[in-house]
A and B are shown apart, each in its own frame.
Chain A
């Protein structure tokens, strides 16, 4: 009995062990050796597309059609640098009859590849000593229609924002905020995380993001339902502007695939 067992284990051992060694040796040759010869992933991290444009947001903010930038400052909130813009509606254009006619736009772009969205909303809340209520998810869509940006033409992206009322002893606001990305947006960092993982696996690049917070001053403790339409219009306008100026690199097709398409 025992000798029988011994002989079978010996052959099994040899086969399984030899297979394992063969697999590992092949694996070393194909995957590890190239790393040894060139570089390891941590030495050459994946890049954020259009990084200079992202960083420029901190210095200049963005321009919105129908709105005039009264003032733009660059300031630190909770350890990160934000762009704060005071915008007023111009007499012509889509927001001519807007009420309120003055709004605030806060933007905090990703600055380098390891920069992840984290506690941006809490930082804002803390810096303003806000009380908040009426939190609701306010989704909207936007379709790219500018002909000069062929890559994204006709693509519809979906954005799921957080819309709520915030007040401190000075002012009450209706607030709309989300993390904007080339493929859409959401107020949740987890949404960005999975979009980023997807971009890393498929496109070999990081998913850029910009934290957007729009503040509409309203009467003390008044209802935010009446501001909803304007908030969505502003949200669409900001996302469209970001898509056209910052998130311009095409994210749906890998550059090498693009070359193949051109070659054929």
Chain B
């Protein structure tokens, strides 16, 4: 079906029409995206907004993936899925509401609508992964709604951090999510409990599994994501133990360095470095699947799409 080398030409030549669509979308959403980036770089909007700062990397990466598969997109047959119209309608309503939370959501809705309108379900499947990257980088109030439910994680981190400090002969007392060191109180708040770092790590993990092709193996992928959660919890226990120690010892400058300054960024970088180490270890020591025979390997290369370099569908 796709053997013909000359692409169908419409009376309106292809590029301008798609260029016009791209231009109109840019007019609509560039100011909004700029506002997101501004909030991420200058930490000027809210803690909830900062939860999504991984978008700084994820959105350009999504754009790169779209560009990379552009030739395959153009070869797809033109069809329209009916869902496109309600999605675009919702995007327009959200955008026109003038409410920021709704306006943010309007962006991924509009993109999904456009994919479905221009190339139908196949077009959406081709770009599903970049679209998910954009969706997960769209600032919403979700962290605000989740925060009350991670109290057990906060208590756990406080308890273990207290236990570690006791091994170093620090006079520490743990009460729920509070650590008392030399009568100084440290609260393990939700964002301190590493919810943000966990979000970022999972998002980066998503990019890495895709990038390295780890997603071809379900076993490695699930081990990887379990590992990410483990690393970010352990990392946060260590971080909170050190923070509590600094606070209790009245080392204000050291506390601020790790809590607010580039010490925090260094910690984040170390965490993300750990993800790469983990992925290398998985690739070296863990088999593609637990099946003894090689029968399962046919899954890796779906016969339906021989041209595909990575199997997007397998991901979800």
Interface positions of A (Cβ within 8 A of B): 2, 5-6, 9-10, 12-14, 16-21, 23-25, 27-28, 30-32, 35-36, 40-42, 45-46, 78, 114, 116, 118-119, 122-123, 125-127, 129, 188-190, 193, 197, 200-201
Contacts and interface: CB of A to CB of B under 8 A. Distances in A.
B103 A24 contact: no
B261 interface: no
24 contacts: A2-B4, A5-B77, A10-B9, A13-B10, A13-B78, A14-B10, A16-B80, A17-B17, A17-B78, A18-B17, A20-B114, A21-B20, A21-B24, A24-B28, A27-B92, A28-B27, A42-B35, A42-B45, A119-B147, A122-B177, A126-B176, A126-B185, A200-B101, A201-B99
Say what secondary structure dominates the interface of chain A.
helix
A19 to B, nearest CB: 8
A103 to B, nearest CB: 25
Given A10-B10, A200-B99, A24 B24 contact: yes
Contacts of B144: 116, 118, 189, 193
Given A21-B20, A28-B28, A201-B97, A14 B117 contact: no
Contacts of A12: 78-80
Contact of B177 (A20, A126, A190): A126
Given A6-B8, A45-B100, A193-B141, A24 B21 contact: yes
Nearest to A114: B46
Contacts of A42: 35, 45, 100
B272 to A, nearest CB: 27
Nearest to A6: B8
A24 B25 contact: yes
A7 B92 CA distance: 32
B88 interface: yes
Contacts of B107: none
Given A126-B178, A190-B145, A31 B92 contact: yes
Contacts of B79: 12
Given A189-B148, A197-B101, 15 more contacts: A2-B1, A6-B4, A10-B9, A20-B117, A21-B17, A21-B21, A24-B28, A31-B95, A41-B100, A42-B100, A123-B187, A126-B175, A126-B177, A126-B187, A193-B144
Contacts of B103: 41
Contacts of B294: none
A190 B80 contact: no
Among all A-B residue pairs, the 10 with the closest Cβ atoms: A13-B78, A24-B24, A31-B96, A16-B80, A6-B8, A126-B178, A9-B78, A10-B10, A41-B98, A41-B100
B35 A40 contact: yes
Contacts of B92: 23, 27, 31
A41 B99 contact: yes
Contacts of A16: 78, 80, 117-118
A219 to B, nearest CB: 24
B39 to A, nearest CB: 8
Contacts of A118: 144, 147
Contact of A14 (B11, B27, B190): B11
Nearest to A33: B27
Nearest to B93: A31
B31 interface: yes
B190 A9 contact: no
A96 B174 CA distance: 42
B24 A28 contact: yes
A127 B21 CA distance: 56
A78 B98 contact: no
A9 B136 CA distance: 33
B157 to A, nearest CB: 14
B177 A25 contact: no
Contacts of A123: 187
Given A10-B8, A31-B95, A126-B178, A119 B21 contact: no
Contacts of B20: 21
Contacts of A17: 12, 17-18, 21, 78, 118
B189 interface: yes
B25 to A, nearest CB: 7
A173 to B, nearest CB: 17
A128 to B, nearest CB: 11
Contacts of A25: 24
Nearest to A21: B20
Nearest to A78: B187
A118 B176 CA distance: 17
Contacts of B21: 17, 20-21, 24
B290 to A, nearest CB: 41
Contacts of B35: 40, 42
A126 B176 CA distance: 9
